Structure 1
């Protein structure tokens, strides 16, 4: 019976028989299908160096633009916080029918710009200082705080009210019970036919050459009139 089975298997047509390719034949077929199939596939040292150089060049080109973009976004947030603080002081004065003041300073320990909103007749020891723009995730320690105030509601009258850094610690802006500026006030000396500069609180990006000086990137809030009208400005308008 065993011999009969072998005879039947030998009679099976070759088209029904599946042949297993030999290992050498399989490798040759793979080399034909994949022309890059070889043992030494990969990158050479020169290719890696060229790629790294290109990445470094692109990073050097893009980095300054990215840093400038980030600085602009942060300084906008800090300036918005200055505007909001002045508006809050003005609103408190109107709502409570009392004079309210707002002051800014740089904390000597944390270097953060801080703001205090308080009743004008409150003792200094009762003022509550809060980091400026901390609630919106902006670090004010990276910027310069300046202004043209030389006293309460008084703009510096020298050389058309220039902005100085840092802002004087004695400088503050006070609103009366109607939300208008209290006296004394001075919006700065001006040339004939020009508009007074107003009271300015300025946030500036430090100069790369000297971090104690302001660069051309600035944002500011300007109190323009006795009625306490405010607007925001940037760059040369804040000088």
Structure 2
């Protein structure tokens, strides 16, 4: 009997303490059910921002290099395509045709035209944005700031041979080029290498 009375007294004291601390039962239940909605503290926000900044700083150079490589690779594909197009035109028309390359305001352009004609403004077409001609690595015939590849009516190359090399305007070291390798009109794509060829060029 005494134990039961002591148990009731202990239960009563616990209930009073709980009510003083939590209020009624609903408030106690609500405090357990509802999550803390205070959000991040200032220190936590600063840490999160710092981590995000570090990740961006690490990823940005890799992304820029990837983007630049994609651009010059697209320019390389386009240059080879227009060269072959001019070659086909020369053979079908039985006339000499040229592909001309130039750079205007740090932007590379191309034009297909008869060898006896000077390309007009309407002939010039742009390469992808951010692509420039690497003048140190380009060895095609050049006159008045314009590089050229000329095809005879047989589709052969009117010498000299050479290459057109592209680089990114952002300063990436990656290079892509199209090499006119034989008088018969053989053309191929190439990329930069660690060692130079016999002519001192790295794109071959």
Same structural fold, with TM-score higher than 0.5 when normalized by the shorter chain: yes
Paired residues of 1:117 and 1:127 also in contact (CA < 8 A): no
Q: 2:96 aligns with which of 68, 84, 99?
A: 99
* Cα pair distance change 1:78/1:186, threshold 3 Å: closer
The structural deviation recorded for 1:145 is 0.5
* TM-score for the superposition, normalised by structure 1: 0.64
Paired residues of 2:101 and 2:146 also in contact (CA < 8 A): no
The structural deviation recorded for 1:206 is 4.5
Paired residues of 2:90 and 2:96 also in contact (CA < 8 A): yes
Q: 2:73 aligns with which of 56, 72, 76?
A: 76
The structural deviation recorded for 1:80 is 1.0
Q: Deviations over 1:152-201 (max 9, x none)?
A: 8xxxxxxxxxxxxxxx624311001111012xx244xxxxxxxxxxx100
User: What pairs up with 1:220-239 in 2 under 5 angstroms?
Assistant: 220-236=177-193, 237-238=202-203
Paired residues of 2:68 and 2:170 also in contact (CA < 8 A): no
Unaligned runs of 5+ in 1: 1-22, 133-137, 153-167, 188-198, 209-214
Residue 117 of structure 1 is matched in structure 2 by: 112
The structural deviation recorded for 1:151 is 4.2
Q: 1:180 aligns with which of 156, 160, 167?
A: 156
Count of residues in correspondence between the two structures: 171
* TM-score for the superposition, normalised by structure 2: 0.74
Residue 140 of structure 2 is matched in structure 1 by: 149
1:219 aligns with 2:179: no
Superposition CA RMSD, Å? 2.4
Unaligned runs of 5+ in 2: 1-22, 194-201
